[in-house]
């Protein structure tokens, strides 16, 4: 018995306030006088923030044009007929003409939008080699197995960049032209294609392999471009600081979207006479139609938009805050009615006693 008691005592926690749970504590008791003001204050705060977000979103101007094309005259219909699920389709050009009766305030952003494109598909989203994209020469010659079936060409050459994401790189291009007066010539609007990708992507996640004898092409020697690419990765741009794995368009595309309908930034309009926005007049967006979407039932749009303090146009966030704020106010009133009703009943019971 003595040994058993000693054994039990050895396994008992120390007799301290912490181990014996004797520390002073405070337990909140939410009374009606505390809970009701919290609900009403939270509801008013959410409604105020929701109104600000909603009206700020509605103040953002947008122009969009679906250039997927349909059967019939005008627009990009001829290019759509050429795109019969072929990858890649034959080169085609079309244009979107529009007029602005007043200044389209800047800064103006040019986006492209795709629909019904599931970049969040698991097999698609993992079909890449981050070691290769970081510029490691060993990964350049030996792509990861996740890239299959876009890991190697039939000839055995490794693909750089490998994977389904890189192979499906968006390759339509746009140029914007402005006609200042009726009958006058069209002047090209400068598009700023720099800085459209995240800084961390361009300077941390994506890097080119070390040049060989000062040549990036020699660094990629012995590799092949993805099957859908018309040119190798080191020839994506004539700018040596914007080619290879650090090409801005490529980096933007490689950051996969979470939803099947998404926009990606193509350029900013903030230079020269267009730093304050797009002046009134007639405009034309010349489109080089390369990217096939009919095979998966998708659509392509070009979008001109400005932004506000909250970012791009997104009424959902404001509506969500308004809905939550209204729900808090409603719950507060319901709790107030219940409190008044049962408070009167408790008073009557106390009087009877």
What distance in Å separates the CA atoms of residue 100 and residue 182, rounded to the nearest whole number?
13
Looking at the fold, whether 124 and 54 belong to one and the same domain comes out as: no
Contacts of residue 329, defined as CB under 8 A and 6 or more positions apart, other chains included, come to 39, 40, 43, 44, 47
Mean pLDDT of 112-132: 95
Looking at the fold, whether 97 and 135 belong to one and the same domain comes out as: yes
Residue 92 confidence (pLDDT): 85
Looking at the fold, whether 177 and 320 belong to one and the same domain comes out as: no
Please tell me the least confidently modeled range out of 11-25, 126-140, 296-310.
11-25
Domain presence at residue 132 = yes
User: Residue 128 — pLDDT band, cuts 50, 70, 90?
Assistant: very high
Domain presence at residue 318 = yes
- Please give the model's pTM, rounded to 2 decimal places: 0.80
Looking at the fold, whether 154 and 285 belong to one and the same domain comes out as: yes
For residue range 171-210, list pLDDT tens digits in order. Answer: 999 999 999 888 888 999 999 999 999 999 988 999 999 9
Looking at the fold, whether 234 and 314 belong to one and the same domain comes out as: no
User: Residue 78 — pLDDT band, cuts 50, 70, 90?
Assistant: confident
Domain presence at residue 329 = yes
Using the predicted structure, report yes or no on whether residue 59 has a pLDDT greater than 80.
Answer: yes
Mean pLDDT of 75-82: 75
SS (H, E, C) the chain: CHHHHHHHHHHCCCCCCCCCCCCCCCCCCCCHHHHHHHHHHHHHHHHHHHHHHHHHHHCCCEEEEECCCCCCCCCCHHHHHHCCCCCCCCCEEEEEEEEECCCEECCEEEEEEECCCCCCCHHHHCCCCHHHHCCCHHHHHCCCHHHCCCCECCCCCEECCCCHHHHCCCCCEEEEEEECCCCCCEEEECCECCCCCCHHHHHHHCCCCCCECCEHHHHCCCCECCCCCCCCHHHCCCCHHHCHHHCHHHHHHHCCCCCCCEEEEEEEECCHHHCCEECCEEEEEEEEECCCCHHHCCCEEEEEEECECCECCCHHHHHHHHHHHHHHHHHHHHHHHHHHHHHHHHHHHHHHC
Looking at the fold, whether 200 and 92 belong to one and the same domain comes out as: yes
Structure tokens at 150: 């876009």
Domain presence at residue 344 = no
Residue 313 confidence (pLDDT): 83
Residue 346 confidence (pLDDT): 59
For residue range 288-312, list pLDDT tens digits in order. Answer: 998 988 888 899 999 999 987 777 7
Percentage, residues of the chain above pLDDT 90: 57
Structure tokens at 103: 């200044």
Looking at the fold, whether 86 and 213 belong to one and the same domain comes out as: yes
Using the predicted structure, report yes or no on whether residue 347 has a pLDDT greater than 70.
Answer: no
Structural domain boundaries, residue 51:
37-60+309-335
Position with higher pLDDT, 333 vs 6 = 333
Position with higher pLDDT, 77 vs 252 = 252
Residue 70 confidence (pLDDT): 57
Q: Which of 269, 297, 325 is the last residue of a domain?
A: 297
Looking at the fold, whether 289 and 316 belong to one and the same domain comes out as: no
Domain presence at residue 184 = yes
Domain presence at residue 271 = no
Residue 85 confidence (pLDDT): 54
Using the predicted structure, report yes or no on whether residue 27 has a pLDDT greater than 80.
Answer: no
Looking at the fold, whether 151 and 89 belong to one and the same domain comes out as: yes
Using the predicted structure, report yes or no on whether residue 218 has a pLDDT greater than 60.
Answer: yes
Looking at the fold, whether 55 and 181 belong to one and the same domain comes out as: no
Positive or negative, the CA dihedral 266, 271, 272, 274 is: positive
Looking at the fold, whether 145 and 183 belong to one and the same domain comes out as: yes
Query: How many independent structural domains does the chain possess?
Result: 2
Domain presence at residue 176 = yes
Domain presence at residue 24 = no
User: Residue 13 — pLDDT band, cuts 50, 70, 90?
Assistant: confident
- Crossing angle of helices 32-58 and 315-352, in 10° steps, is 160
Looking at the fold, whether 226 and 314 belong to one and the same domain comes out as: no
Buried b (16+ CB within 10 A) or exposed e, 176-187: bbbbeeeeeeee
Mean pLDDT of 256-275: 92
Residue 129 confidence (pLDDT): 95
Structure tokens at 94: 């079309």
Using the predicted structure, report yes or no on whether residue 348 has a pLDDT greater than 70.
Answer: no
Average pLDDT of the residues of the chain: 87
Using the predicted structure, report yes or no on whether residue 2 has a pLDDT greater than 80.
Answer: no
């Amino acid at each position: 018995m003595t040994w058993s008691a000693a054994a039990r005592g050895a396994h008992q926690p120390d007799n301290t306030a912490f181990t014996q749970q004797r520390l002073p504590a405070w337990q909140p008791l939410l009374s009606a006088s505390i809970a009701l003001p919290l609900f009403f204050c939270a509801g008013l705060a959410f409604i105020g923030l929701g109104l600000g977000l909603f009206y700020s979103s509605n103040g953002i101007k947008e122009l969009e044009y679906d250039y997927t094309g349909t059967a019939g005259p005008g627009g990009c219909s001829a290019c759509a007929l050429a795109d019969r699920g072929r990858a890649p389709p034959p080169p085609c050009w079309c244009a979107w003409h529009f007029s602005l009766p007043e200044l389209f305030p800047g800064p103006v952003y040019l986006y492209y939008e795709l629909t019904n494109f599931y970049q969040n598909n698991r097999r698609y989203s993992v079909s890449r080699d981050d070691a290769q994209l970081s510029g490691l020469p060993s990964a350049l010659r030996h792509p990861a197995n996740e890239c299959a079936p876009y890991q190697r060409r039939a000839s055995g050459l490794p693909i750089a960049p490998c994977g389904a994401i890189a192979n499906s790189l968006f390759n339509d291009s746009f140029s914007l032209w402005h006609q200042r007066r009726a009958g006058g010539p069209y002047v090209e609007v400068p598009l700023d294609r720099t800085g459209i990708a995240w800084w961390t992507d361009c300077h941390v996640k994506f890097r080119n392999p070390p040049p060989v004898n000062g040549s990036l092409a020699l660094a990629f020697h012995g590799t092949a471009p993805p099957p859908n690419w018309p040119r190798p990765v080191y020839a994506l741009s004539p700018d040596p600081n914007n080619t290879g794995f650090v090409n801005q368009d490529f980096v933007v595309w490689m950051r996969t979207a979470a939803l099947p309908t998404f926009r990606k930034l193509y350029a900013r309009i903030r230079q020269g006479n267009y730093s304050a926005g797009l002046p009134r007049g007639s405009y034309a967006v010349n489109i080089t139609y390369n990217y096939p979407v009919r095979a998966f039932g998708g659509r392509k749009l070009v979008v001109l938009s400005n932004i506000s303090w909250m970012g791009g146009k997104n009424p959902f966030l404001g509506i969500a805050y308004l809905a939550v704020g209204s729900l808090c106010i409603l719950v507060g009133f319901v709790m107030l009615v219940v409190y008044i009703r049962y408070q009167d009943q408790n008073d009557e019971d106390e009087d009877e006693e």
